[in-house]
Amino acid sequence: MNIHLARLNRDLKRKGERIKLRRYAGTNTQIFTEVDLLAFVRGYSPQQLAAGSGIQAVDSFVILSPTALFAAQWPGGQQPLEPPFNPDPHLPKKGDRAIIQGRTRTVEVASPIYDGDELVRIEMRVLG
C-alpha cells in the first residue's frame, strides 16, 4: 500500500470520527446506498472564510481514505460514461450526503488526491 495512504488509514483509525456517506437515487421514492467511514472533519479557518471564497462558517472540510470506499464498493454499479469522461465510480460527488455528528450535510465538492496513479486521499467540502 502507498505510504501516504497507509499513514492516513493509521491516523484515521486512531483519531478519525465515524461518518456516513450516502448516495441517493430517485426523486419521488428516494433510495439510498450508504457506507460507514472514518473521517477527519474540520472547520475552516478565518483566512479561508475570506469574502469571495464562497466558503461559509457552517461548512466543513472532510478528509476521507479511499480504502473503506473501495472495500464497500460504494455506491455500487454506475452507468459508464463515454471516455475520456469516466471518473472513478467510487468517488463522492456533489449532491451526495454526509451524516456527520447526527446531522445530514451536503457534499459540495469532492477532490481526489493522487500519488502517481494511486488515489490516496479524498477531500470534501460539505455544506450545512
Q: Interface residues with another protein (CB under 8 A)?
A: 23, 25-33, 71-80, 89
**Nearest distance, CB of residue 23 and another protein, angstroms:** 7
Question: Which one-letter DSSP state was computed for residue 75?
Answer: T
C-alpha distances (whole Å) from 64 to each of 18, 23, 87 are 11, 16, 17
- Which one, 72 or 113, has the nearer CB to another protein? 72
CA-nearest of 124, 108, 23 to 66 is 124
**Minimum distance of another protein from residue 44's CB (angstroms):** 32
Give the distance from CA 63 to its chain's centroid.
7
Nearer CB in complex with another protein: 2/33: 33
Q: Which is nearer to another protein, 48 or 118 (CB)?
A: 118
